[in-house]
Amino acid sequence: MQSTLHHRLSPVGALVLLAILMAFPFGASAMEQEFYIGLASRLMIFALAATSLNLVLGFGGMISLGHAAYFGTGAYTVAILMEHGINSAWVAWPAAIAVSALLAALIGLISLRTRGVYFIMITLAFAQMVYYLFVSLRAYGGDDGLSLPARSVTGFDMSSDTAFYYVVLTLLAFTVFFVHRLVNSRFGRVVQAIRENETRTEAIGYPVFRYKLTCFLIGGGMAGLAGALIANQNMLVSPNLLHWTQSGMLMVMVILGGVGYLFGGVIGAVAILLLEEVLSGYTVHWQLALGVLLLAVVMLLPDGLASLLRHRAAREQS
C-alpha cells in the first residue's frame, strides 16, 4: 500500500484513455466483434465496484469482507422496483445508491466500533445475513433470482449494447474522477491519515468514527451503483451477487490492481476478468492457471500492478 496522501491524475493520459474507450465500440463493430462491447461493459462495471472497495480498503484502511452486500443490494433494488412498475433509471439507480449507502451506514455503525479481525468477521457476517435475506424472498425469485423484462429507461434507447456501453463508461469516468477529488480533499487526507495512524489522528482532535463511517457509506453507495448497472447488463439478479465469494473476488481485484492506488480497482478488475475470459477458452481448469498467475504477481509486485506506473514515472523523473 502506498503511503502518499496525494494522488495524481494525468489529464493528458486520462483524456487519451477516454478517447480510446470512446472509439472502442466503433472498432469492435467494424471488425464484427460486437461481443467484446458487452464484455467491455462488464469489465467497467466490476472496475467501478472494485474502485468502491478500494476507497474503503485502500484509502480508508477498512478491510471489509462484505462489500458484495452493497453490490447485490443495488442490483436487487433496481430489479424489485422494476417488478413493481418503476423502470426509470433516474429513479431506480439513485434509489440503488441510497439503499446501498443506507445499508452500509447501518452495518458501519456497528462494525466500525471494532478493529482488526473482528471488523473483518462482522462485515462478513452482516453480508451473509443480507445474502440469506434475499434467498428467503420467494416473491422475488429466492434462490433462482429475478429477471428483468428490459433495461432501465433513461430517455434514450439503451437496449443496444453500444448505448449501454457509453452509459457505463460515463459513470465509471465520473466515479474515478469523483474518487480522485475526494481522496485529495481535506476529507480524503484525514481518512488516509486515519489509515496510517488512527490513534494519532484521534489525538489531534478529528472525529475518527465519523470520518470512517462517511467513507464506508460512500463506498457502499458506489457499490450500489455498480449493482444497478450489473442488473441491467445481465438482465437478471440473483443472490450470488451478495455471496461472500463475490466480496472475496472484489478484494482480490483491489489487491492485484494495487491497494490505495487511484486506478488500482480498475486495473485489477480488468486484469482478472480478462484472464478469466482468455484462460477459460483453453482449459476447464482455468482457475488453477489464474491462481498461479495471481500468485506470481503478488510475489513479484506486492504493491499490485498499479505500482508499475509509479515506478515508471519515478524512472522518467530521474
- Phi/psi at 75 (5° precision): -65, -45
The answer to whether the beta carbons of residues 201 and 208 sit under 8 Å apart is: yes
pLDDT in tens, 212-222: 999 999 999 99
Dist. CA 196–CA 2, nearest whole Å: 10
Residue with the three cell numbers 465500440: 25
Nearest to 55 by CA among 173, 165, 169, 184: 184
Name the band, by pLDDT with cuts 50, 70 and 90, for residue 207: very high
Q: Beta partners for 236?
A: 147
Given a cut of 90, is residue 112 above it in pLDDT? yes
pLDDT in tens, 61-96: 999 999 999 999 999 999 999 999 999 999 999 999
Dist. CA 281–CA 277, nearest whole Å: 7
| Angle between helix 208-234 and 68-83 (nearest 10) | 50
Name the band, by pLDDT with cuts 50, 70 and 90, for residue 318: very low
pLDDT in tens, 230-289: 999 999 999 999 999 999 999 999 999 989 898 999 999 999 999 888 888 887 877 887
The answer to whether the beta carbons of residues 73 and 97 sit under 8 Å apart is: no
Given a cut of 80, is residue 299 above it in pLDDT? yes
Taken in order 207, 213, 216, 220, the sign of the CA dihedral is negative
Please tell me the predicted confidence (pLDDT) of residue 314: 47
Dist. CA 55–CA 105, nearest whole Å: 15
Residue with the three cell numbers 474518487: 179
Dist. CA 200–CA 140, nearest whole Å: 48
pLDDT in tens, 263-276: 999 999 999 999 88
Q: Beta partners for 20?
A: none
Given a cut of 60, is residue 3 above it in pLDDT? no
Please tell me the predicted confidence (pLDDT) of residue 6: 60
Nearest to 251 by CA among 54, 48, 46, 3: 54
What's the pTM?
Answer: 0.92
C-alpha cell recorded at residue 300: 513479484
Q: Is 66 exposed, middle or buried (0-12, 13-18, 19+ CB in 10 A)?
A: buried
153 DSSP assignment: B
pLDDT in tens, 19-57: 999 999 999 888 888 889 999 999 999 999 999 999 999
Q: What is the mean pLDDT of the chain?
A: 90
